[in-house]
Amino acid sequence: MKKNRTMTRILIAVLALVILIPLVVIGMQLAHDPGSDQPGVPVVNATEQVSRGQYLAMAGNCMSCHTVRGGDEYAGGRAIATPFGSIYSSNLTPDPETGIGNWSADDFWRAIHNGKSKDGRFLYPAFPYPDYTKVSRADADAMHAYLQTVPPVRQANREHDLRFPYNQRILLAFWRALYFTPGEFKADPKQSSEWNRGAYLVHGLGHCAACHTARNSLGGTIAEGGLAGGMIPMLDWYASSLTSDAGAGLGDWETKDIADLLKTGVSRRGTVFGPMAEVVGESLQHLSQSDIDAMAIYLKSIPGIDHGGPRPVPAPSASAEAMLGQGARLYEQNCVECHRADGKGVPPAYPPLAGNQSLWAYSALNPIRMVLNGGYPPSTGGNPRPYGMPPFGTSLNDEELAAVVSYIRTSWGNQGSVVSPIEVARFRGVPVD
Ligand code: HEC
Ligand code: HEC
Ligand code: HEC
């Protein structure tokens, strides 16, 4: 009898905990509004504030996500594909009913800083507030002031297409408890003001970590703020490491090469493609040279992860050797014209493939997709008429494409591995962008 009663008590206690803990987490997340006591910053010059807000919104690439291709600016409705379904961006125009026309600067600050909508609902982190939380109150206010000046568009927000249980916003409480730390950027007094400006932009409005950090299956960052590179789920591109890794990152890039790449889309070390082409084309090219330089200086200072020197490349097997021979011939026939026999290309028009770590570090995804579909870097002020790369998806079969990609990943000192025709076949079906 006594034993039975103890068991019942334990059971009740466990049940209570199982119910109570989630309620406490949800309650805490609902109630927790850090920064809500922070007053708006007094405005000295309203016109200046609006133009600064426009610049900052450019740095945050807000328009690109909040505008449907060919649609009204900032009216929302663009689908963001996630592993849990599609999320649609919101209307940020000042329409009072469907947009954010009746949002105060405080409401806007709470969304940017703490990922909550005007009515207190949790926002999905497809809106990169885990990065934007680093933005200062004055900068958030400036963006709010600017958005109140764009033409209002009456367009109701579209419902998200999310699977159960991901369509239950309230459950974001757990995601937030695990992966979201609200907090403004804190300058490091030991570093220069340039470095601090760069860090502020990279980790805040630039939301570089949204793509350049590895994520787990719930979309949480694995190494917080790591920038050590990661797969972008759904887009099927690999965003390379931005740390000073000698092998995989920007370790042996000059600061100027990084700045050129960010501002113009091309550099002596490589060109941008895939989602990075959009980031440069729509956002980074419009930033001032001093902000770009600050970002490059900061990126250059991120310590690399020591992998213990170059990875040993196993001697190719006989079959791999035959494949690389075929790859060399195909390279000679199809690629030397632009990328040259020594793989050094003709930068900035034709990027080098030798020493271009984005082709071989960790993933063969990017070069396979580039050779299949070709592409153009964005047209920018510094590179208005970009040279393009022709697609080879129709002229080369899977085996040939695997051979030539294997060849460029392993030649001229590149330390990649060979890829198989099966890998190529997998990416044939992936939409071009
Ligand atoms: C990567 C895409 C992306 C970018 C970049 C982005 N947003 Fe969003 N934003 C979204 C999505 C998706 C939502 C909807 C989230 C939801 O419904 O939970 C959203 C929601 C919002 C909301 C909440 C609106 C509401 O009605 O609750 C605000 C405010 C907002 N974004 C402002 C901005 C600003 C300002 C920027 C630039 C600094 C920006 N966003 C950049 C995708 C983006
Ligand atoms: C939407 C996703 C996305 C965002 C946001 C993004 N990147 Fe990228 N980035 C990529 C992808 C994918 C690549 C690989 C393709 C390439 O090299 O262009 C890349 C490549 C790069 C490269 C070249 C690296 C190399 O080894 O060749 C640099 C430098 C870079 N990004 C810097 C940045 C910075 C700085 C930010 C923030 C301001 C940023 N990226 C934001 C997706 C993104
Ligand atoms: C007509 C000139 C031309 C030819 C031929 C050509 N490429 Fe390219 N390639 C380019 C240009 C231009 C880019 C930059 C495209 C971009 O950034 O979107 C590029 C980019 C690349 C990239 C991505 C590297 C980076 O940093 O942007 C790879 C990988 C690549 N080419 C491989 C090949 C291979 C393999 C072949 C032969 C099968 C080939 N290319 C043929 C012009 C060419």
Q: Residue 306 pLDDT more than 70?
A: no
Give the whole-number percent of the chain exceeding pLDDT 90.
Answer: 75
- Ligand 1 centroid from CA 182, angstroms: 16
Sequence-separated (6 or more) residues with CB below 8 Å from residue 101: 93, 94, 95, 148, 152
Q: What distance in angstroms lies between residue 327's CA and the mean position of ligand 3's atoms?
A: 15
- Residues 191-225: b if buried by 16+ CB within 10 A, e if exposed: eeebbbbbbbbbbbbbbbbbbbbebeeebebeeeb
pLDDT value at residue 370? 95
Q: Which of 31-45, 118-132, 253-267, 270-284 has the lowest mean pLDDT?
A: 31-45
Q: What length is written for the chain?
A: 433
Residue with tokens 């070709």: 374
pLDDT of residue 220: 83
Query: 417 alpha carbon to ligand 3 midpoint, in Å?
Result: 19
Query: Radius of gyration of the chain from Cα atoms?
Result: 24
Q: Is the pLDDT of residue 3 over 90?
A: no
Nearest residue to 356 (alpha-carbon basis) of 431, 232, 248, 213 = 248
Is residue 432's pLDDT more than 70? no
- Find the mean pLDDT for residues 293-322: 79
Give the mean pLDDT of the chain.
92
The pLDDT, as a whole number, for residue 281 is: 97
Question: What pLDDT sits at residue 308?
Answer: 52
Q: How confident is the model at residue 433 (pLDDT cuts 50, 70, 90)?
A: low
Answer whether 157's CB lies under 8 Å from 90's CB: yes
Instruction: Convert the pLDDT of each residue in 376-424 to its tens digit.
Output: 999 999 999 999 999 999 999 999 999 999 999 999 999 889 999 999 9
Q: What is the pLDDT of residues 91-131, one digit of tens each?
A: 999 999 999 999 999 999 999 999 999 999 999 999 999 99
Out of 80-84, 286-290, 315-319, 371-375, least confident range: 315-319
Tokens at 41, concatenated = 């910053």
The model's confidence at residue 314, banded by pLDDT at 50, 70 and 90, is low
Q: Are 364 and 295 in contact (CB under 8 A)?
A: no
How many whole angstroms from 292 Cα to the centroid of ligand 3? 25
Q: How far apart are CA 137 and CA 117, in angstroms?
A: 17
Q: Give yes or no for a contact between 104 and 112, defined as CB atoms under 8 angstroms apart.
A: no
Amino acid at 392: F
Q: Given this model, what pLDDT does residue 16 score?
A: 85
Q: What is the dihedral of CA 368, 370, 374, 379, to 10 degrees?
A: 170
Pocket-testing residue among 336, 370, 394, 410, ligand 3, by greatest number of atoms within 8 A of Cβ: 370
The pLDDT, as a whole number, for residue 222 is 73
> Dihedrals φ, ψ of 63, to 5°?
-65, -35
**C-alpha to C-alpha distance for 21 and 26, rounded to whole angstroms:** 9
Ligand nearest to the CA of 201: 2
Per the listing, tokens 């097997």 go with 317
pLDDT digits (tens, 9 = 90+) for 345-366: 999 999 999 999 888 877 899 9
Of 429, 378, 380, 373, nearest to 401 (Cα)? 373
Q: How far is CA 222 from CA 27, 135, 172, 226, 237, in A?
A: 26, 22, 18, 8, 18
| Closest approach atom of ligand 2 to CA 206 | 38
Task: State yes or no: pLDDT of 253 exceeds 70.
Answer: yes
Q: The dihedral of CA 227, 183, 292, 350: what is its sign?
A: positive
Place of tokens 């006591």: 37
Q: Which of 11, 26, 166, 8 lies closest to 87 in space, CA to CA?
A: 166
Using the atom order of ligand 3, give the atom closest to the CA of residue 334: 37
pLDDT of residue 319: 85
Residue nearest to atom 41 of ligand 2 (CA): 208
In tens, the pLDDT along 324-343 reads 999 999 999 999 999 999 99
> pLDDT-derived band of residue 282, with 50, 70 and 90 as boundaries?
very high
Q: What is the pLDDT of residues 45-100, one digit of tens each?
A: 999 999 999 999 999 999 999 999 999 999 999 999 999 999 999 999 999 999 99
Q: Which atom of ligand 1 is nearest to the CA of 205?
A: 38
Return the structure tokens found at 50: 């609006």
Instruction: Give residue for tokens 């900035």.
Output: 348
267, 338, 401: which to mutate for ligand 3, most atoms within 8 A of CB?
338
Rounded to whole angstroms, the Cα distance separating 55 from 58 reads 5
Which tokens is 301 given?
């200072």
Ligand 3 site residues, Cβ closer than 6 angstroms: 270-273, 334-335, 337-339, 350-351, 353, 356, 358-359, 367, 370-371, 375-377, 387-390, 392, 404, 408
Q: What count of Cα atoms within 13 Å lies in the side-chain half-sphere of residue 63? A: 21
Distance spanning both ends of the chain, measured CA to CA: 68
pLDDT digits (tens, 9 = 90+) for 187-200: 999 999 999 999 99
CA of 388 to the centre of ligand 3 (A): 7
| Exposure on the CB side of residue 53, measured as CA atoms within 13 A | 22
pLDDT at 224: 52
Pocket of ligand 1 (CB under 6 A): 57, 60-62, 65-66, 80, 87, 89-90, 92, 108, 111, 117, 123-124, 126-128, 132, 143, 205
Pick the residue whose CA is nearest to atom 13 on ligand 1: 89
Residue with tokens 């999310």: 162
pLDDT score of 225 more than 60: no
Asked if residue 315 has pLDDT above 90, the reply is: no
Q: What's the one-letter identity of residue 299?
A: L
Q: Which residue has the higher pLDDT, 214 or 161?
A: 161
pLDDT of residue 267: 96
Confirm if 427 and 420 have CB atoms less than 8 A apart.
Answer: no
pLDDT average, residue stretch 161-171: 94
Burial 386-407 (b: 16+ CB within 10 A, else e): beebeebbeebebebbbbbbbb
Write down the residue that tokens 């011939």 correspond to: 329
Is residue 275 lining ligand 2, measured as CB closer than 6 Å? yes
Residue owning the nearest CA to atom 10 of ligand 1: 127
